């Protein structure tokens, strides 16, 4: 069994991992906010008492994990959830001609509910914990395409309201970031097939029993903390799922 140091890292772990941990602590504390530039690698090296090469390895990992982003000639910034980044990194539905278009989003329902066993297990909370449930309908060219059932822990999004969701200026992930200091760093998605029930058929304007793509997405923040569970139901009559891996 590996021994653990006081910092939470295994004894003998590479020095850059400790630097990475310290940078993450500064991000969690809000020292550097989304969209802000972090100090140069030289200044970070001086701050932590390590070489530039050690800092660079730590920053490289944080860039690979989408926590930081490098802009050539400008520096390294804390990842921010802009509209363009959402479309590029998290929205994977495209037309069968390969065209990707950001959909119009309409809030259909908003409620406070209690987590059932499945929701609790996925979100890492107790069964019965309070959640907000949002249902959005996404349309392209005036035609319904996706229904999103979104569940977020009330403890992470206190005082969230339908009005706040409906009147947000950007994406939901931008709202999480700007209003609640919750940063979505990555997502995990599982795909399956399902058939439209009466609710989905009505929202998507398809026949009951029509085949749909069901996407279960878990959004994760720092330390892989689950902050959102999303069930998306997609009409794939003219669209398909496409995710490109970037090295």
Return d(Cα 53, Cα 21) in angstroms, integer: 16
Q: Which CATH code is given to the segment(s) 15-78? A: 1.10.10.10
What is the average pLDDT score of the chain?
88
Instruction: Name the band, by pLDDT with cuts 50, 70 and 90, for residue 12.
Output: low
Higher pLDDT pick, 170 / 107: 107
| Residues 219-244, mean pLDDT to the nearest whole number | 92
Which range has highest mean pLDDT (9-13, 69-73, 216-220)? 216-220
pLDDT of residue 83: 54
pTM of the predicted protein model: 0.76
Secondary structure element (H or E) that encloses residue 152, with its range: strand 143-153
Instruction: Tell me if 111 sits within 8 A of 132, measured CB to CB.
Output: yes
| Residues 68-82, mean pLDDT to the nearest whole number | 82
| Residues 136-142, mean pLDDT to the nearest whole number | 95
| Residues 60-86, mean pLDDT to the nearest whole number | 78
For residue 16, the tally of other CB atoms under 10 A from its CB is 20
| Residues 189-217, mean pLDDT to the nearest whole number | 98
Q: Which tokens belong to 139?
A: 């349309």
Instruction: Name the band, by pLDDT with cuts 50, 70 and 90, for residue 81.
Output: low
| Residues 116-136, mean pLDDT to the nearest whole number | 97
Least confident window among 86-100, 108-122, 175-189? 86-100
Higher pLDDT pick, 153 / 3: 153
Return d(Cα 114, Cα 132) in angstroms, integer: 8
Sequential DSSP letters for 78-99: E----HHHHHHHT--EEETTS-
Q: Which CATH number fits domain 89-241: 3.40.50.300, 1.20.1090.10, 3.60.20.10, 3.40.1410.10?
A: 3.40.1410.10
Phi and psi angles of residue 202, each rounded to the nearest 5 degrees, phi first: -65, -45
Return d(Cα 9, Cα 237) in angstroms, integer: 49
Nearest to 130 by CA among 139, 122, 120: 120
Nearest to 106 by CA among 153, 176, 162: 162
| Residues 9-13, mean pLDDT to the nearest whole number | 58
Q: Is the pLDDT of residue 126 over 80?
A: yes
Q: Where are the domains of the chain?
A: 15-78, 89-241
Instruction: Tell me if 110 sits within 8 A of 162, measured CB to CB.
Output: yes
pLDDT of residue 89: 63
């Amino acid at each position: 069994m590996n021994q653990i140091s006081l910092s939470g890292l295994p004894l003998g772990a590479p020095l850059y991992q400790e630097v990475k941990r310290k940078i993450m602590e500064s991000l969690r504390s809000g020292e550097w906010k989304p969209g802000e530039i972090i100090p140069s690698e030289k200044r970070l090296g001086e701050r932590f008492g390590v070489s530039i090469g050690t800092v660079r390895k730590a920053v490289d990992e944080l860039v690979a994990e989408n926590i930081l982003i490098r802009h050539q000639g400008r520096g390294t910034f804390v990842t921010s959830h802009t509209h363009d980044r959402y479309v590029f990194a998290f929205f994977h539905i495209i037309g069968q001609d390969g065209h990707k278009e950001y959909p119009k989003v309409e809030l259909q329902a908003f409620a406070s509910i209690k987590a059932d066993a499945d929701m609790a297990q996925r979100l890492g909370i107790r069964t019965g914990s309070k959640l907000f449930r949002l249902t959005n309908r996404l349309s392209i060219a005036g035609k319904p395409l996706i229904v999103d059932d979104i569940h977020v822990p009330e403890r992470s999004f206190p005082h969230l309201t339908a009005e706040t969701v409906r009147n947000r200026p950007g994406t939901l992930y931008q709202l999480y970031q700007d209003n609640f200091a919750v940063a979505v760093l990555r997502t995990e998605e599982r795909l399956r097939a399902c058939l439209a029930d009466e609710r989905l058929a009505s929202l998507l304007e398809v026949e009951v029993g029509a085949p749909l793509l069901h996407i279960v997405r878990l959004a994760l923040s720092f330390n892989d903390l689950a902050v959102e569970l999303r069930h998306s139901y997609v009409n794939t009559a003219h669209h398909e799922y496409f995710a490109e891996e970037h090295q």
